[in-house]
Chains A and B, each alone.
Chain A
Amino acid sequence: MDKFMFGRYIPGDSWVHRLDPRAKLILTFIYIGVVFFANSVWTYAVLVVLLLASIFATGISLGVFLRGLRPLLWLLMFTVVIQIFFGAGGHIYWQWGWLSVTHDGLINALLILMRFVLIIMVSTLLTFSTQPLEIADGIESLLSPLRKVHFPVATLALMLSLALRFVPTLMDEAEKIMNAQRARGVDFGTGGLRQQVKTIVPILIPLFVNAFNRAVDISTAMEARGYQDGENRTKYRELKWHRQDTLSLIIYVAFSVVVISLRELHL
């Protein structure tokens, strides 16, 4: 768990760190959307340039981003291998029964790999440079139009920020419980499947019980501090949209236009 980088926040004070979380969320969505339009070497080149520029702007080294990919390596390889062997069409290089390596299959595998890597990298960029609570605020603000259709945005935002706040606490607690059970002779990650599933019980039950107790405590503490419902509250952290947010939005839209026109021009 110690070396797990995906989805973590790395404190910093770069251009990207200071962007409005709403802007970063929108940028991430734009980028992910555009990745699916890319279909040629040139379109991908444009996306890679944009990604590298954004990574550079975070002030975090590329190595750290690549390390974030590591836990997903098996998933990537698995999809690529499936694509290579089961993709059909074009020139056939090699065939054995219904397994075949074809020209189109290889191209597709490469496309999928690129898409995966780009999407993972850009979401890592978001989480590396944005604090979880900022992301929650951003999501709340972006969802606020849904209030019109009586969607409980404030409740959702509260749940989201509470959940995010307690992810590290629960992780710590899980680790502590694991260590305590290890000290009582539980072997994690050894033995057969049945044996391993059995070792989860001594972690899961205390974790659930503690989560229940904590939920009771938190709701009591919230009521004691005058919390009534999600609506009609003022905000302590106000989001402010700056010129640099607009600027980065323009840059991303410009790049998207380039990618989509390259696609239309079949380049």
Chain B
Amino acid sequence: MEIAFEKVNYWYQAGTPFAVQALYDINLNIPAGEFTAVIGQTGSGKSTLIQHLNALLKPTEGQVVIGDRTITSETKNKHLKPLRKKVGLVFQFPENQLFEETVLKDIAFGPQNFGISVEEATRLAHETAKMVGLDDSLLERSPFDLSGGQMRRAAIAGVLALEPDVLVLDEPTAGLDPRGRNEIMGLVRQLQVERHLTIVLITHQMNDVADYADHVIVMAHGHMVKQGTPRDVFSDVDWLTAHQLELPSATAYANKLMQQGFVFDPIPLTADELADQLVPQINKKGVADNG
């Protein structure tokens, strides 16, 4: 399901003395089936942007086209429910939204809200729990007994159980250890490949962007300042520095090597790409030095 923003402006508390504009004239496309990363500094409007993806926020001006639905400021809340099933949104620190007596019930809560029978919802809950790597023995426990990482998985499973077409994640790996981070990112990639989900990910981890994303949107001060492939975005080092964004660590390292006379074309984004280009150069250099 494709999502397009057309001239979207958004004000928080519009019409009060506290009105703050959070999004300015946003035009963008989120292609179906692809992995889109949204990056930008804290307070650049990323979270506001993604809450438009399932109409939790409606544009103050302009429109958001989600599949066959068009959302404007006039759109009524009444018929948005089918949309929310198609676009699953995992908020920052989603473990804060768990509330049921057991993990299983919590995961099954979402599907039941969309009119799916208890048996079917329970089956879905079992299935998604397995998918996110939650052991069956945990499912009858209270969600508040789990560890932080397990709670995070349970919360993500609660959204996946809706079987959405688009999965939107707001910093799903924030506060996790490296292993937990890899597992969650691996899961997201797997969902994209196996279930053909459209993925939208907000992240500060440029390595994740380089490793997984097909498409990058850069936000700054409520404006969309760039959109393109990771290579488009990360090739302009000066521009990134000016916008206080980091490089993926492989790219940063390649940049340092380039100052030492190494040549990279195209600039590597991942450790594998870096190694592929570096090995022949080192071999050649080695031969030259020995000769």
Contacts and interface: CB of A to CB of B under 8 A. Distances in A.
Contacts of A185: 81, 84-85, 110-111, 113-114, 162
Contact of B15 (A3, A60, A184, A206): A3
Interface stretch (B91-99, B125-133, B174-182): B91-99
Contacts of A64: 17
A183 B159 contact: yes
Contacts of A60: 17
Interface residues of B, number: 29
A184 B99 CA distance: 13
Contacts of A201: 99
Q: Of residues A173, A184, A201, which shows the largest number of chain B Cβ atoms within 10 Å of its Cβ?
A: A184
A205 interface: yes
28 contacts: A2-B12, A2-B13, A3-B15, A10-B17, A173-B96, A180-B89, A180-B94, A180-B97, A182-B84, A183-B54, A183-B88, A183-B89, A184-B110, A184-B113, A184-B158, A184-B159, A184-B162, A185-B81, A185-B111, A185-B113, A185-B114, A187-B81, A187-B113, A202-B97, A202-B99, A202-B109, A206-B97, A206-B99
Interface in B83-142: 84-85, 88-89, 91, 94, 96-99, 109-111, 113-114
Nearest to B99: A205
Contacts of A186: 113
A179 interface: yes
Nearest to B161: A184
A5 B15 CA distance: 12
A182 B89 CA distance: 10
Interface of B: 12-13, 15-17, 51, 54, 56, 78, 81, 84-85, 88-89, 91, 94, 96-99, 109-111, 113-114, 144, 158-159, 162
A72 B158 CA distance: 39
Contact of A3 (B13, B54, B97, B114): B13
B99 A183 contact: no
A5 B13 CA distance: 11
Given A176-B96, A183-B56, 6 more contacts: A181-B97, A184-B162, A202-B99, A205-B99, A206-B97, A206-B98
A177 interface: yes
B84 to A, nearest CB: 6
A101 B78 CA distance: 42
Given A179-B91, A184-B158, A185-B162, A2 B16 contact: yes
A173 B93 CA distance: 11
A176 B93 CA distance: 10
Contacts of A10: 17
Contacts of B84: 182-185
A210 interface: yes
A176 B12 CA distance: 14
Q: Of residues B81, B88, B96, B97, which shows the largest number of chain A Cβ atoms within 10 Å of its Cβ?
A: B97
Contacts of B81: 185, 187
Interface string A3-21: 1010000100000000000
